Structures are given as C-alpha cells and as structure tokens.
Amino acid sequence: MKLDFHMPTKVIAEKECVRNNADVFKMGKKALIVTGKCSAKNNGSLDDVIWALDKNNIEYAVFDKVMSNPTVECVYEGAEMAMEEEADFVIAIGGGSPMDAAKAIALLAVSDIDRKDLFSGNIGNKALPMIHIPTTAGTGSEVTPYSILTNHEKQTKTSIAAPCLFPAYALLDAKYMKKLSLKTTVNTAIDSLSHSVEGMMSARANIMADIIAREAIRLLASEFDNLASGEFTDEDREKLLYASMLGGVVISQTKTTAVHAMGYSLTYFKGIDHGRANGLLLGEFMEYTEKFAPEKIHDILDCMGMKTVDEFKAELHKILGETENFVLAELEMYADIANMAGGVKNSIHCPDRSEILEIYKNSLL
C-alpha cells in the first residue's frame, strides 16, 4: 500500500455555522473579506461574517470586485488592498471564483511575485491565513490548495498550487444557497461530480481518496432527479454542499484530469460555466477510460446505481440539456491547447492529441 494524504483545513458544517463559530474569526487584527459583486450581500453570508467580526472587535475591509473566472489583474488589485489595509487574514465568501481569488490575494499580499512569474510554478509557500465560506456547492475550493485563474497569455485557465493555499477553516452552511439559481445549482453540482469521478480516474488516485469519492458520487447520484426537476429541500442543499466539500478533498489529493483541462477552453472561448463545461465532456472521457481501466469505470457507475456509461450520458443529458453549437475548427484549436495542459497527463490513461480531438468531437458535434 502507498498513501500520502494531507488535507489540513478544519471543516465545520452546521446550521448557523458562521455565527455559532464566531471564535474562529479571532485569527488576526484586521480581515480582508474577498467576495463577488452581489450574492454575498443578498444571501446573508456577508451579514453573518460582519456580525462575527464585530462580536470579536475585529476590523475589516471588503474587496467585492471578484468576477466569475477571476483574472490576474483582479487578484493583484485585491492584494494591493490587503497590503494598504494591513489585513493579516483573509475571509473568502462566495463560489469558486471569490474563493480562488482570495487564495491568490492571500499569497500575493505577503509574497513578492511578479505577474509574469505567477504561473511559473515557483510561488513559494507563504500566504495570509484564510477562512472560506462557500455559497455554491461545486468547486470544493474551500478544502483545496489550488487557485484557478484566467490566463490570457495561454488562452486558458491555469491553476496555481501550494500547501499554504489550503484555507485554515471551511465553514459550511447550506442556508446561503436557498436562492441559488437552478442554472448555477446544476452547473456547480456537476462540477463536484466531475471532481469525484475524475479523482477516481486520476493517475494520483489513492485508496482514501477513492473512498471519499465513492461517497460523494453516491450522494450526488441521489440528487440527479432533483437536478433535472429543479426542486430542492434544505436537506438536498446540505447534501450537495457536503458532497461538494468531499469532492474538493478528493482533488486536493488527486488533482483533476483531462476533463477539466479540456473544459477550460469551453469556458475561455465560449463563456460556458465551468461545471457545465466539465459535464459536457465527462461521459465521453469515461467511455475513453473504460477501454483501459474498465474496473474503475464500473466502480464509479456502481456508485450511481448504473451499469453502462451510456446510461450515465443519458442522465447527464437530462440534467444539462442541449449542447451549445461548435464547429470542427474550434475543437481543433481546443485540442492543441488541452494537449499542452498538465491535467491531461494526470489521467489514468492519457489521451494524445488526436484522441483529445475525438473526445471533443464525440461530446460536442
């Protein structure tokens, strides 16, 4: 047996999680709250965090400029604010975009990294401590050491990774998701499914990550009908948030595979939401992997109570609806980009450029 498992984030999940655990915020003298433009102000999460900070007499500043698929410019601007405000810890509130931006801001606030070196792989291991509060159920970023940023130079999205990017705390309360749109609920749930399924198809898969992935896949499969119908109880929301966190724990160990690497072009060039992009490719990549590792794929399908990849593809189609329009020339370009990406090489069986193109064609044309 070979195992190496490190996930240092303390996870607390309960109703009224932020207010009940206000002591967690005694992490420093001044917090930089990193969030998106609107949702945290409307779903109660920002009010709860401010209540917890006020209770402990901790000062704060708010950086609320994070857009979906955050850019390098955005995180340098946030880091500038963290330094000006002399923040000594960071609180992320939101979906994967604010959570990922907060990690890069926490890093850049205390590390002198030139913009041209941000994706060099050489970013050191120093960052301000962080508390993450997810308000979507999908990315699991609250328990991963990755920050995924738009990389205009390479026309894709690129991950920066370091152990210091693991948040100190992840506080989970599904009440913030009550008014999350069906579109974002579906796309984020499929992102989290993709994390756990890809974790099992990863070259870095291990027995502990597999156990967690199986549990997450089972939970998500029990939500397939609701994802198709659009009806969610509070318990369903809790289940989706828990499964999303589990998926994050999985990829914190295994990283993602060709599915994410290939999906980034759909987001970069067509503006397709991250989770949906993965969902459009996941079935076809499972079919590809089945040829080389059938037992893995049957293990995954078994967790969903299914026998064949076709059955899974039909379920995904029910949830995701019709695919956007693509032409072959676009897919050729995406195949060139994905072929250069590290994620492809992290697959249990790595597709070459022509196989990547084939997967794109079968999925999208």
Footprint of ligand NAP (CB under 6 A): 36-40, 43, 68-69, 94-98, 100, 135-136, 138-141, 144, 146, 148, 157, 176-177, 179-180, 184, 188, 191, 274-275
User: In a 10 Å sphere around its CB, with 0-12 CB exposed, 13-18 middle and 19+ buried, how is residue 71 labelled?
Assistant: middle
Q: In this chain, which residue has its C-beta nearest to Fe ion?
A: 191
Question: Of ligand NAP, Fe ion, none, which one sits near residue 96, judging by CB under 5 to 8 A according to partner kind?
Answer: ligand NAP
Single-letter residue type at 281: L
Residues 172-201 that bind Fe ion (CB under 5 A): 191
Q: Where are the alpha helices (DSSP H) in 65-181?
A: 72-84, 96-108
Question: Of ligand NAP, Fe ion, none, which one sits near residue 156, judging by CB under 5 to 8 A according to partner kind?
Answer: none
Question: Of Fe ion, ligand NAP, none, which one sits near residue 25, judging by CB under 5 to 8 A according to partner kind?
Answer: none
Provide, rounded to whole angstroms, the least separation between the CB of residue 75 and ligand NAP. Answer: 12
- Both structure tokens of 48: 């709860």
Provide, rounded to whole angstroms, the least separation between the CB of residue 295 and ligand NAP. Answer: 27
CA distance 257 to 103: 22
CA distance 197 to 177: 24
Provide, rounded to whole angstroms, the least separation between the CB of residue 113 and ligand NAP. Answer: 18
> By C-beta, is 40 or 290 nearer to ligand NAP?
40
Q: 251 Cβ partners below 8 Å, 6+ apart?
A: 140, 144, 146, 195, 198, 199
Which string of DSSP letters, residue by residue, matches 206-229? -HHHHHHHHHHHHHHHTTHHHHHH
Single-letter residue type at 287: E
Provide, rounded to whole angstroms, the least separation between the CB of residue 26 and ligand NAP. Answer: 26
> By C-beta, is 343 or 351 nearer to Fe ion?
343
Question: Of Fe ion, ligand NAP, none, which one sits near residue 89, judging by CB under 5 to 8 A according to partner kind?
Answer: none
Provide, rounded to whole angstroms, the least separation between the CB of residue 236 and ligand NAP. Answer: 15
Provide, rounded to whole angstroms, the least separation between the CB of residue 130 and ligand NAP. Answer: 12
CA distance 296 to 180: 33
> By C-beta, is 239 or 274 nearer to ligand NAP?
274
Contact between 31 and 25 under an 8 Å Cβ cutoff? The reply is yes
- Both structure tokens of 21: 């655990």
> By C-beta, is 39 or 144 nearer to Fe ion?
144
> By C-beta, is 175 or 274 nearer to Fe ion?
274
Under rule CB under 5 A, how many of the chain's residues touch Fe ion?
1
Report the residue count for the chain: 365
CA distance 159 to 274: 14
Q: Where are the alpha helices (DSSP H) in 222-273?
A: 224-229, 234-254, 258-270
Residue 155 CA neighbour count, 13 Å, CB half? 11
> By C-beta, is 26 or 65 nearer to ligand NAP?
65
Provide, rounded to whole angstroms, the least separation between the CB of residue 232 and ligand NAP. Answer: 12
> By C-beta, is 185 or 226 nearer to ligand NAP?
185
Q: What is the binding site for Fe ion (CB under 5 A)? A: 191
